[in-house]
A = this chain, B = another copy of it.
Amino acid sequence: MALTDDQTVEIAEIFRLMGDPTRLKILIYCLDGPVAVGDLAQATGASQSLVSHHLRLLRAARILRAERRGKKVYYAAADDHIRTVVGDMIDHVAEPAEDGED
């Protein structure tokens, strides 16, 4: 599986966006279904403004997608790859360390 330089940079960009605790919390809350911005702010403990800023980045990278219903805007994971990647990482952290580490 050979990647172009652009593809590598694209993947790095997605990982980078997942690499901030506030953004990752937002993302995890969105994994199981659409969540409104206000609810994300409350769940994460971050300000509404900060959540919106992060949501814009996650949306631009196609990690989340937005859908307006009336006054509220609901965000959800863009696709199953995102869910799988985060799920794998959760497994990685949950699992006891493997043999031979330092």
Contact = CB atoms under 8 A, between A and B. Distances in A.
Interface of A: 1, 3, 7-21, 23-25, 28, 62, 65, 78-79, 81-82, 84-95, 97-98, 100-102
Contacts of A87: 1
Nearest to A45: B5
Interface SS, A side: helix
Contacts of A17: 19
Given A18-B19, A78-B101, A89 B24 contact: no
Nearest to A24: B12
Contacts of A20: 12, 16
A32 to B, nearest CB: 9
